[in-house]
Amino acid sequence: MQEIPTEYTPPSPAEIPTEHTPPSPAAYRSLLFAVFFYGLYVNIVNSMHSPFLRALVSCDAPVAAPHFADDWSGSAFCGDKSEVITQAQRLGSSLAPLATALHMVTGPFLAAAADRHSRIAVIAIGLIIEGISLACLALAASAASREYAASHALAAPLWLLIARAVFNGVSSTGAPVNALAADLAPKHEHARVYLAIAVAHGSAGLLGALGGIAILRLELEDYGPAWQAALLALPLAASPLLLVREPPLRSRRGASSPPPSSPPSAPAEPVAPTRPVAPTRSLRQLIEQMVLARREMKRRERWMKRRRRGREST
């Protein structure tokens, strides 16, 4: 026979179930600010990629036009402007599908990892990979030289640009950010929060395009300092996104902890049997009973009229 404990042991903090508290509006507002701030940074960085590819194109045509001139080709290693534009567009159109294909392949795995583990952790991993891709561009800019351009179509190793496209395709933070927005937003405001995130992306893209135009007007010859500055600015741009308070994993999964142990209670006294409660009647049964009662009332009214007429005739 199992013994009943006589002393009450309070539950430990790990045994107490954690309830999911409704998110506050400040939580997803901070997420919107983080998305806008990081999106602005990403758009400015992406706007430097195309002119950087132009700056790496090399050819046999000597550079005759000086820097900032109207006829300047955009590259210090090739004087043919049309050749520079053509080769840069060809190289960019070859690297972009590689990044897009890797994004399509690795995106579902990152989304599944964000659902199974911490969303902020998956976002941090994506940001680290993005930092590696920026490091590849910084290395390519610092490795550009006339000696290398004399025997190659580019002034920097091509494998660094391919590595950048690979790491850029793997670093996907869109799915974890959207999932985090669903966690922080109230259930009845999901559509509005998703719309706010889209507006934040769009406004960041617009301002980032303006920043990219300003960078294009600089017509840089050496993009090494620019990529190094972008790499150093990545932690600052990503810090608002990493500081967003994420809901507990247990509350996201809907897991429930076992109830805490309660003090032993005395055996319950026998209770007198009570009258069984009739099951709740359905709407159809209630309507049928109302119709039968109405018919019974009409039948009694007709009987009373016949009885009254009989008395009057006698």
Higher pLDDT, 153 or 228: 228
Of the candidates 51, 53, 46, 45, the residue with the CA atom closest to the CA atom of residue 158: 53
Assigned token pair, 308: 């009254």
Q: Which of 133-137, 266-270, 305-309 bottoms out in mean pLDDT, i.e. has the lowest?
A: 266-270
Angle at Cα 108 formed by Cα 193 and Cα 190, nearest 5°? 15
Residue that is written with structure tokens 């901070």 in the block? 30
Give the best-scoring range by mean pLDDT among 60-74, 89-103, 107-121, 239-253: 89-103
Averaged pLDDT for residues 244-256: 64
Higher pLDDT, 174 or 103: 103
Q: Which pLDDT score, from 0 to 100, does residue 81 have?
A: 85
**pTM (predicted TM-score):** 0.68
CA distance linking residue 121 with residue 124, whole number of Å: 5
Q: Which of 45-59, 121-135, 256-270, 272-286 bottoms out in mean pLDDT, i.e. has the lowest?
A: 256-270
Q: What is the chain written as a DSSP string?
A: -PPPPSS--PPPTTTSPPP-PPPPHHHHHHHHHHHHHHHHHHHHHHHTHHHHHHHHB--SS---SPTTSTT--S-TT---HHHHHHHHHHHHHHHHHHHHHHHHHHHHHHHHHHHHS-HHHHHHHHHHHHHHHHHHHHHHHHH--HHHHTSSSBSS-HHHHHHHHHHHHH---HHHHHHHHHHHS-GGGHHHHHHHHHHHHHHHHHHHHHHHHHHHHH--S--HHHHHHHHHHHHHHHHHHHTSPPPPHHHHHT--PPPPP----PPPPPPPP-PPPPPPPPHHHHHHHHHHHHHHHHHHHHHHHHHHHHHHH-
User: Which residues, in sequence order, are bridge partners of residue 154?
Assistant: 57
Assigned token pair, 78: 């090739």
Report CA 18 to chain centroid distance, whole Å.
Answer: 25
Residue that is written with structure tokens 């049964």 in the block? 285
Does the domain formed by 25-252 have CATH 1.20.1250.20?
yes
Q: Which pLDDT score, from 0 to 100, does residue 177 have?
A: 84
Q: Which pLDDT score, from 0 to 100, does residue 44 have?
A: 87
Q: One-letter amino acid identity for 47?
A: S
Give the best-scoring range by mean pLDDT among 107-116, 134-143, 252-261, 305-314: 134-143
pLDDT value at 94 more than 70? yes
CA distance linking residue 39 with residue 63, whole number of Å: 37
Averaged pLDDT for residues 265-274: 51
CA distance linking residue 77 with residue 55, whole number of Å: 8
Assigned token pair, 30: 């901070």
Phi-psi region of 55 (alpha: psi -120 to 50; beta: other; left: phi over 0): alpha
Contact (Cβ atoms closer than 8 angstroms) between residue 242 and residue 176? no
User: Which residues, in sequence order, are bridge partners of residue 57?
Assistant: 154
Give the best-scoring range by mean pLDDT among 140-144, 174-178, 184-188, 250-254: 140-144
Q: Which pLDDT score, from 0 to 100, does residue 23 have?
A: 57
Q: Which pLDDT score, from 0 to 100, does residue 257 have?
A: 41
Averaged pLDDT for residues 125-134: 92
282 confidence band (pLDDT: 50, 70, 90): low
